[in-house]
């Protein structure tokens, strides 16, 4: 979706929209519109959209009013984002190719205005690549937004948010593509193409390099697949030369059958999005590089495919990680932590990180705990946990902190190796986090985000349609703004 700023609306655009604060007067509008809005009980509540028609200059215009909520609300920016998204949801397939959006009259700042535009843009993302018989009235038509009355500074602010939108859209695309299209090597290729010209440094390790480094846990997951496993690192050096980097690590299981511990067939098709953590890291790095963030940030992704095969690892196998710790693999479907432990160790060997945050669609138990409202957060550092919580509230990618503790850690002690990859049925998300924590060295501030319930939506949300949400990109970008750039 293209967003253009103009002083005068194009005469040939029929659809005109404006924001209305909750309880605000509609004085100045055509009387028929005012009466129609009242009859429809339009009050300016967040997410409301009223449509009417009015003659302007002898031409009938389609007029939309979008509720922006209370002017002084604490979550004002998120409410404005929802207002923009509501307009897109209503008019994306309306047959209208363009919309004039008047941002005057709602008392907006440049940040507020950019939030409206971000909602408009994000809600307009669709993945219709494979829908060859989509009915004409179901196809997106709205491609251009002409913005008038924007507050001073909006264009510069929007340039920053547009970079974030680009990152979210990239993540959604990676997560949505089927596993015959996105697998470890093609994930790397997609990133190399997307990051061309951005100034990042890209490092790729294949199986021979990882085998030489002793990454027995990650490589064990991919043994049953014909697709070669990869490690991808993307480095953005936008901060001071001496500043330690922030490191984001993503689980990238491009398809997860469960391996020999095979998942039940119903719903297995959803496991194309088991690389949602790596997808979020890739999208966040694209946003940061595109907006030229003034911070040093590195994204590292472990990319594997977990398949059953005669060469696949078996329950009961013992693997040696890059750290030297041994793992008894009791369940080959608890594979994400095996990928992360080697990637985290490699990242700590390569980079002197100021802090590490890993993201993973790790456990179904997290969905049972938090549903689809929050990502679960585990952290060894209270300051880092508070910073991530604040970034989640500001961005809308919310987090809820979960516990860690010595008694939970004992649940993953193995009688025949250093660790077993699953504990008992109870506290499954916590013991998974305890497993990962054993690979964090020297007290480095670390947080693990279990986002299993957040990367895919069964129904439309505030700024996304059904399917991939792009969760995590805005969270990480906001975190970098607040902490690494702040």
- How does pLDDT run across 150-173, given as a tens digit for each residue? 999 999 999 999 999 999 999 999
CA distances from 374 to 26, 49, 428, 453 (A): 37, 27, 17, 8
The pLDDT score that the predictor gives to residue 225 is 98
- Reference 171, options 284, 2, 298; nearest CA is 284
The list of the chain residues with pLDDT below 50 reads none
What is the C-alpha to C-alpha distance for residues 263 and 336, in angstroms, rounded to an integer? 14
DSSP structure string for 44-105:
--TT-EEEEEEEETTEEEEEEEEE---TT-TTHHHHHHHHHHHHHHHHTTSS-SEEEEE-TT
Q: Judging by DSSP bridges, how do beta strands 15-20 and 467-468 pair with one another?
A: unpaired
What is the C-alpha to C-alpha distance for residues 366 and 452, in angstroms, rounded to an integer? 7
The pLDDT score that the predictor gives to residue 312 is 98
Q: Which residue has 């700042």 as its token pair?
A: 109
Q: Helices marked H in 126-275 — which ranges?
A: 154-176, 184-194, 207-213, 216-221
User: Start-end ranges of CATH 3.40.220.10 in the chain?
Assistant: 2-151
Rounded to two decimals, the pTM is: 0.97
Give the residue numbers marked as catalytic. Answer: 263, 337
The pLDDT score that the predictor gives to residue 187 is 98
124 phi, psi to nearest 5 deg = -85, -5
The pLDDT score that the predictor gives to residue 72 is 82
The pLDDT score that the predictor gives to residue 28 is 84
The pLDDT score that the predictor gives to residue 125 is 97
- Reference 343, options 430, 230, 428; nearest CA is 230
CA angle 131, 135, 139 (to 5 degrees): 70
- Reference 222, options 105, 335, 360; nearest CA is 335
- Reference 405, options 381, 385, 430; nearest CA is 430
Q: What 3-state DSSP class applies to 17?
A: strand
The pLDDT score that the predictor gives to residue 57 is 79
What is the C-alpha to C-alpha distance for residues 130 and 263, in angstroms, rounded to an integer? 26
- Structural contact between residues 158 and 113, judged by C-beta atoms closer than 8 angstroms: yes
Residue 225 burial by Cβ neighbours in a 10 Å radius (0-12, 13-18, 19+)? buried
What is the C-alpha to C-alpha distance for residues 14 and 361, in angstroms, rounded to an integer? 44
CA distances from 116 to 51, 89, 254 (A): 18, 13, 33
In this structure, the number of other CB atoms found within 10 A of the CB of residue 466 comes to 11
User: Start-end ranges of CATH 3.40.630.10 in the chain?
Assistant: 163-484
The pLDDT score that the predictor gives to residue 105 is 83
What CATH fold (topology level) applies to the domain 2-151? 3.40.220
Q: Judging by DSSP bridges, how do beta strands 355-360 and 246-256 pair with one another?
A: parallel
- Structural contact between residues 365 and 433, judged by C-beta atoms closer than 8 angstroms: no
Handedness of CA 31, 35, 36, 41 (dihedral sign): positive
The pLDDT score that the predictor gives to residue 73 is 78
The pLDDT score that the predictor gives to residue 295 is 98
What is the C-alpha to C-alpha distance for residues 269 and 250, in angstroms, rounded to an integer? 21
Handedness of CA 287, 388, 126, 130 (dihedral sign): positive
Handedness of CA 474, 480, 485, 486 (dihedral sign): positive
Instruction: Give residues with Cβ within 8 angstroms of 354, minimum separation 6.
Output: 243, 244, 245, 246, 445, 484
CATH, domain 163-484, list 1.20.120.530, 3.30.300.30, 3.40.50.720, 3.40.630.10: 3.40.630.10
Helices (H) and strands (E) in the chain, counts: 14, 19
Q: What number of residues does the chain have?
A: 486
Show the tokens assigned to 219: 């490589």
What is the C-alpha to C-alpha distance for residues 9 and 150, in angstroms, rounded to an integer? 12
The pLDDT score that the predictor gives to residue 385 is 98
């Amino acid at each position: 979706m293209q967003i253009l700023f103009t002083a005068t609306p194009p005469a040939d655009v029929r659809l005109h929209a404006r924001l209305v604060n909750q309880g605000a007067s509609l004085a100045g509008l055509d009387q028929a519109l005012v009466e129609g809005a009242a009859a429809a009980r339009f009050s300016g509540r967040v997410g409301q959209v009223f449509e009417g028609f009015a003659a302007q200059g002898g031409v009938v215009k389609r007029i939309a009013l979008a509720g922006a909520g209370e002017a002084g609300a604490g979550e004002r920016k998120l409410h404005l984002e929802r207002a923009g998204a509501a307009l897109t949801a209503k008019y994306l397939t309306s047959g209208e190719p363009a919309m004039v959006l008047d941002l005057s009259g709602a008392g907006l700042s440049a940040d507020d205005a950019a939030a409206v535009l971000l909602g408009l843009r994000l809600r307009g993302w669709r993945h219709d690549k494979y829908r060859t018989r989509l009915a004409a009235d179901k196809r997106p038509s709205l491609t251009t937004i002409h913005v008038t009355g924007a507050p001073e500074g909006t264009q510069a602010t929007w340039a920053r948010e547009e970079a974030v939108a680009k990152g979210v859209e990239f993540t959604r695309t990676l997560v949505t593509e089927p596993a015959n299209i996105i697998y470890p090597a093609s994930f790397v290729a997609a990133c190399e193409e997307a990051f061309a010209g951005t100034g990042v440094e890209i490092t790729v390790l294949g199986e021979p390099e990882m085998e030489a480094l002793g990454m027995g846990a990650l490589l064990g997951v991919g043994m049953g697949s014909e697709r070669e496993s990869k490690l991808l690192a993307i480095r953005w050096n936008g901060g001071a030369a001496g500043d330690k980097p922030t490191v984001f690590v993503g689980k990238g299981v491009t398809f997860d059958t469960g391996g020999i511990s095979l998942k039940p067939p119903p719903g297995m098709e959803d496991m194309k999005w088991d690389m949602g953590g790596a997808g979020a890291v890739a999208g966040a790095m694209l946003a940061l590089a595109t907006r030229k963030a003034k911070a040093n940030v590195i994204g590292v992704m472990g990319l594997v495919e977990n398949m059953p095969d005669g060469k696949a690892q078996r329950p009961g196998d013992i693997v040696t990680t890059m750290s030297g710790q041994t793992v008894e693999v009791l369940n080959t479907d608890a594979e994400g932590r095996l990928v992360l432990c080697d990637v985290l160790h490699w990242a700590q060997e390569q980079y002197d990180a100021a802090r590490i945050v890993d993201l993973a669609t790790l456990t179904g138990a997290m969905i049972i705990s938090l549903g689809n409202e929050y990502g679960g957060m585990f952290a060894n550092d209270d300051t880092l946990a508070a910073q991530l919580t604040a970034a989640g509230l500001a961005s809308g990618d919310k987090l809820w902190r979960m516990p860690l503790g010595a008694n939970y850690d004992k649940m993953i002690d193995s009688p025949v190796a250093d660790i077993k990859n699953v504990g008992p049925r109870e506290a499954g998300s916590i013991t998974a986090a305890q497993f990962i924590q054993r690979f964090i060295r020297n007290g480095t501030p670390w947080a693990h985000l279990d986002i299993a319930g957040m990367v895919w939506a069964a129904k439309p949300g505030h700024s996304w349609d059904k399917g991939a949400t792009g969760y995590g990109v805005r969270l990480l970008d906001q975190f970098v703004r607040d902490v690494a750039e702040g």
